[in-house]
Homo-oligomer: A and B are copies of this chain.
Amino acid sequence: MAKKKQTKKKATKKKNTRKTGGVSKRAKKGSRKAKSRKTPRMSGMIEDEAASIQRTIMRGKKPCLKFPIRSLANVRYRPKIGYFELKGRKKERTLTVGTVKTFAQTLRMMSLSKDLVEQDDIATKREAYYVSKNWDSARFREQPESDTVIDDVEALFQVNREQLGFVPEEKGGDVAGKLVVLDRDRDTGKMLRIDCTRFGSGAYSIPISVEDLGFETGAKFILAIETAGMFQRLVKHNFWKKANCILISMGGVPTRACRRFIRRLSDEKKLPVYVFVDCDPYGIGNIYRTLKVGSGNAAHINEFFCVPQARFLGITPEDIEKYKLPTHPLKEVDVKRATDALKNDPFVLHHKPWQRAFTRLISMGVRAEQQALAKWGLNYVIENYLPEKLAKPEKFLP
């Protein structure tokens, strides 16, 4: 047993060094040449892992896989890097009579991922579940089982599952403004220049996987907006032209694709990200905080999906008073969310201004939506609120 553990430890250490290094380089560069670089690396990583398991078996030992534990308890907030990070505790899956099915399923899932990457294809979690129906006794009975195995594989390789070819079910995130997205035609390989200034009242819909996109822009900042309605107003009035910016509609809590898109765009083009959401514990604690530092139960992917450079433009508790906004009373769930954040959220605990903001909101006992500005006229937000705010970005909340 002692010997086995040692072998594993060594193998894991070697693996981690190699992989983390490779991945962060990739995340930093994130260029549109990614595909050509991704294919050999990802499928190589999978092959290496499989070969190491095979070797262990050939030596007559029990192979073992190690996955980081994915929970808030295994997470710390690192202000310097800007997101929730795994503390490093791991769970192990050793091949035994009891684990043989899950072990086999994990290997088959790795094999499916290798196929996807090599063939430049994608599979949603649901599709992957159905593919398993042809895996004989390794087939999954229910989708939650296969979802967990995909999450495990993602955590095992310390990558995001889009890099493994697994894409989310849901789409989300619309873009308009001073941005050209670079994509390519799959059949011809020809570069496609997608000009987001030329969609009129419509918008560019962010694809499910954004790893291979490139960007050209002369914009000064990204404005990430909570509601589709507010986005549509700013698009309708060409706000991006006057403000020289890129508008992104998150439609509530942003999807993985939307978060990754904002992150890659902001990283690559060194653009600040300003976030415009409702002033309530949900808008601040769920939408903004998830976008900026990620969430606890998905900490193994925060590295790729959070946007540490995001800053909170509004609506702030101060705005409610300054602009005399119509409000709604805080619901019980709002108050609970706010008090919980003040007590347990490592992000809030780190930032004094957020502690003050939450405390103020609780004592005011009200919340306000971004549309509340319409009290002063439908386009008050365009003519007054946003210009006044954007004149002083240093005042944005962290």
A207 interface residue, CB < 8 Å from B?
A: yes
Known contacts A186-B236, A207-B232, A208-B228; is-contact A121 B379 (Cβ 8 Å): yes
Chain B's nearest CB lies how many Å from the CB of A79?
Answer: 34
Within 8 A of B (CB), among A339-398: 369, 371-379
- Judge whether B169 and A183 touch: CB under 8 Å: no
Residues of B within 8 A of A208 (CB): 201, 228-229, 232
- Judge whether B371 and A229 touch: CB under 8 Å: no
Known contacts A127-B378, A130-B371, A371-B126; is-contact A174 B229 (Cβ 8 Å): no
Alpha-carbon separation in the docked complex, A205 to B375 (Å) = 29
Range class of the A interface residue count: 35 or more
Within 8 A of B (CB), among A94-148: 121-124, 126-128, 130-131, 133-134
Query: Which of B124, B167, B171, B236 meets A174, CB within 8 Å?
Result: B171
Chain B residue at smallest Cβ distance from A242 = B187
A241 interface residue, CB < 8 Å from B?
A: yes
Query: Which of B122, B181, B194 meets A236, CB within 8 Å?
Result: B122
Chain B residue at smallest Cβ distance from A228 = B171
Residues of B within 8 A of A200 (CB): 181, 183-186, 192, 194, 207, 213
Chain B residue at smallest Cβ distance from A209 = B201
Known contacts A236-B186, A251-B171; is-contact A371 B199 (Cβ 8 Å): no
Residues of B within 8 A of A181 (CB): 200, 202
- Judge whether A378 and B237 touch: CB under 8 Å: no
Residues of B within 8 A of A337 (CB): none
Known contacts A202-B181, A378-B121; is-contact A238 B207 (Cβ 8 Å): no
Known contacts A121-B236, A184-B200, A228-B169; is-contact A131 B378 (Cβ 8 Å): yes
Query: Which of B167, B192, B227 meets A199, CB within 8 Å?
Result: B192
Residues of B within 8 A of A202 (CB): 181, 183, 194, 204-207
Residues of B within 8 A of A229 (CB): 124, 126-127, 167-170, 208
Chain B residue at smallest Cβ distance from A381 = B127
Alpha-carbon separation in the docked complex, A235 to B192 (Å) = 14
Chain B's nearest CB lies how many Å from the CB of A315?
Answer: 12
A55 interface residue, CB < 8 Å from B?
A: no
A33 interface residue, CB < 8 Å from B?
A: no
A198 interface residue, CB < 8 Å from B?
A: yes
Within 8 A of B (CB), among A265-292: none
17 intermolecular pairs with C-beta atoms under 8 Å apart: A121-B378, A121-B379, A122-B233, A122-B236, A126-B369, A171-B251, A183-B200, A185-B238, A186-B238, A194-B202, A199-B205, A201-B209, A202-B207, A203-B207, A204-B205, A207-B232, A208-B228
